[in-house]
Amino acid sequence: MEVLLLKKFGVCINEPETTEIFESGWNWLQSLYRVRQRWVPVYFKNVFTAELSANQRPESLRSFFKKYFNQTTTF
C-alpha cells in the first residue's frame, strides 16, 4: 500500500498537464489527510479496541482502502 500511495503521490505532483488535474489530485490527498486518524496506526496505537486484535488492524486498514479506493479511483 505504501508503494502505491507513493506512486500516486508522484503522479499527482509530476504528471498533471493542467492545473485543474493537479488540483483534483491534491484534493484527494488532502481528503486522505483529513481522515488520517482512521487509517494511520500511530493515532490509534494506544486506543483499546476490543473488537480488533493487533493482527486484525492491518486487515481493517486494507478493508477501509478497498471500500473507498481502487485502480479506477481518480486523483
Is the pLDDT at 72 greater than 70? The verdict is: yes
Domain of residue 48, residue span: 2-68
pLDDT digits (tens, 9 = 90+) for 4-63: 888 888 988 999 999 999 999 999 889 989 988 887 878 877 776 655 555 555 666 677
28: its cell numbers: 484527494
Residue 73 lies in a domain: no
In a domain, 47, yes or no: yes
Assess if residue 74 is contained within a domain: no
Do the domain assignments include residue 34?
A: yes
64 found inside a domain: yes
DSSP letters spanning 7-36: HHHHHHHH--SSHHHHHHHHHHHHHHHHTH
CA–CA separation, 33 and 27 (whole Å): 10
User: How many domains is the chain partitioned into structurally?
Assistant: 1
pTM of the model: 0.54
